[in-house]
Amino acid sequence: MSGRPATRARFRTVRSGLFMLLIGSVLLACAAPTSAPTSAPRSTDATAAPAAPRESRTLNVAIRLEPVSVSTRPLGQVGVGLYLPKRTFNAEIASLDDRGNTQPYLVEALPQLGTDSWRVQPDGKMETTYRLRPNITWHDGTPLSAEDFVFSYRVYTTPGLGHATLAPINFMEEVLAPDSRTVVIRWRQAYPDVAFVTGTNIEFPPLPRHILERALQPDQLEAFANHLYWTREFVGLGPYKLDRWEPGAFLEGAAFDQLIGGRPKIDRIKLTFMSDARAVLASILAGETHLTDGTSVGLPEVSVLKRQWVAQGKGTVLLHPNQWRAANFQHRPDIASPRTLLNPVIRRALAHTVDRQPLNDALYDGDGIVTDSVFPPQSIWGTAAERGAVKYPYDPQRAEQLMREAGFIRGADGFFTSPLDGRLTFEVKTNQGSDNESEVSILASTWRQAGFDASEAVLPAALAQNAQARATFSSVYTNSQNCCESALLGFTSTAIGTPENRWTGGNRGGWANSEYDRLTDTLTRTLARNEREQLISQMVRLLTDDVQSITLFIRAQAWTPVTELRGLTVAPPEGNMSWNMEHWEFR
């Protein structure tokens, strides 16, 4: 039986099996010794009276992977977005609060259009001015200077370091420091996001000139990219100073006393690398992990937490809808195998055989958001995206009709084949992880049932941050990435990962469309909101009509604070859940 009822029944069976397997694994893990983080020993506050020592608390956080770097905008290969480590040790020009409002951070105020702080020239070029807050210091005590932004621009525009062609660096013409607290950016064109907050990898962070300037030599770029500053000797401006980095195990940070606005309320933070979501779940249930950062547990684990941990009042689950989950196609002709997947008609047929809601119910207890593009409805651009999206409802008959148009019919074995290309056989790959692998198993099984000979493959966790490995898949690759505008801007031809840009481009499948490039260029120059909405609708239509990928849903990242940890609230899809982490506290 191959219709939707059978599919839904199979999904329910998978969901039930996954739940029982998860429960069994957690019970075993809880019974066994664990290497999860433990609280730091008490320490006495030197300024307190001897009779009333102050308890030093450590916030124990489980994160999925060890970061390549904790820098906001690191050099080299970066795969999985690890937002908490970046926010822990860094501070930016501005941030989005939990209501989607932009708040200045390193600067006193943000540029305002039509004033001297944000001037647009008749030729379309721009100039924005920022005044740094006084008395800001790096973690090593060196004062932050406007010259650190000038040096940052010099680093990120250096050919060979991988960022010169990426937004917003490629839109800048010059960065100046008229004095130690004033930063002036001259732009080649109009650019709307002068606060640098619309998504990941569009930040313009300062870099410590006093540490890195001597190392930046034209003939030593590889050595510069591998400088220990980017890893174990990192010096930032964020709430916590990097105190210890045990490779393969954990990061530790100590509260930064000179932080803007005052010292963080929690003394220490420990980020433990835990790639096994079931082990993280066991650690939470055992009371050893105070928080997960959105990467270390998936929605299958969330369903267990809701039934046990949350119901007992031990913690809560905050779902941040910011991860666009999709089945991405390989569009590079020199890599794609089989090349028949370069035909958009076949990609449309595949899209019509994905029944997303039962997939969401089976894997994520219905907590994913079924959508038709990179934007969830909660996004500031959600309505505009919905207008533009071409939709592919579950319709196996329509899929078979499209395959006939492409020259394929179902053979005696039930699989699509053509006289010219033979059987359509392809690989579906994903990152290692229980929910990822279950998802691919269901997808591949569904496609086989619909007549597509799909096999399954898994990218090991050790390669999850290897951008080259993530970009050179042969056929289909399911993964999550940041949603919304930053995802939309990542599909230009200049964002295709290559050896020349150190595979840093977000366009991993190598999709290229000249009209899309033109619209993207126009969007990045357009300041009026209504005009931006129209452009976003057009761009979404191009992406979905060509089936650049098959959008599955927006997968919420689960943050799971214990009850005594206060201060976390759900941020908008474009925001960072840890934007206010210096105000978190134990109560």
What's 198's domain CATH number? 3.90.76.10
Residues 397 and 306 in one domain: no
The beta-strand segments (E) located in 247-302 are 250-255, 268-273, 291-292
pLDDT tens across 167-205, in order? 899 999 999 999 999 999 999 999 999 999 876 668 899
Residues 357 and 434 in one domain: yes
pLDDT tens across 6-48, in order? 555 555 555 555 554 455 555 444 544 444 443 333 333 444 4
pLDDT tens across 129-148, in order? 999 999 999 999 999 999 99
Residues 342 and 398 in one domain: yes
| 224, part of any domain | no
* Contact between 582 and 102 (Cβ < 8 Å): no
* Contact between 60 and 272 (Cβ < 8 Å): yes
Domain harbouring 391, CATH code = 3.10.105.10
Residues 22 and 74 in one domain: yes
Residues 368 and 509 in one domain: yes
| Per-position b or e across 183-210, b if 16+ CB within 10 A of its CB | bbbebebbbbbbbbbbbbbbbbbbbbbb
Report d(CA 111, CA 196) in Å as an integer: 12
Residues 58 and 135 in one domain: no
pLDDT tens across 294-332, in order? 889 987 799 899 999 999 999 999 999 888 999 999 999
| 228, part of any domain | no
Residues 392 and 523 in one domain: yes
Residues 437 and 380 in one domain: yes
What domain range is 35 assigned to?
1-44+54-84+238-317+560-587
| 253, part of any domain | yes
| 227, part of any domain | no
Residues 293 and 370 in one domain: no
Report d(CA 307, CA 350) in Å as an integer: 35
Residues 277 and 328 in one domain: no
Report d(CA 538, CA 548) in Å as an integer: 14
| 392, part of any domain | yes
Residues 14 and 102 in one domain: no
Instruction: Count how many domains the chain has.
Output: 3
| 408, part of any domain | yes
Write the DSSP symbol of residue 185. Answer: E
Residues 334 and 423 in one domain: yes
| 1, part of any domain | yes
Report d(CA 460, CA 86) in Å as an integer: 23
Q: Mean pLDDT across the chain, nearest whole number?
A: 89
pLDDT tens across 453-470, in order? 999 999 998 887 788 888
Domain harbouring 580, CATH code = 3.40.190.10
Domain edge (last residue) among 219, 252, 275? 219
| 585, part of any domain | yes
Q: What is the pLDDT along the chain (587 residues), one digit of tens a residue?
A: 445 545 555 555 555 555 544 555 554 445 444 444 433 333 334 444 454 555 689 999 999 989 989 998 988 644 455 789 999 999 999 998 988 889 999 999 999 999 999 999 999 899 999 999 999 999 999 999 999 999 999 999 999 898 898 889 999 999 999 999 999 999 999 999 999 987 666 889 999 999 999 999 999 999 999 999 999 999 999 999 999 999 999 999 999 999 998 999 999 999 999 999 999 999 999 999 999 998 899 877 998 999 999 999 999 999 998 889 999 999 999 999 999 999 999 999 999 999 998 888 888 788 888 999 999 988 889 999 999 999 999 999 999 999 999 999 999 999 999 999 999 999 999 998 777 898 999 999 999 999 999 999 999 988 877 888 889 999 999 988 889 988 898 899 988 988 887 787 778 899 999 999 999 999 988 998 899 999 999 999 999 999 999 999 998 889 999 999 999 999 888 888 999 999 999 99
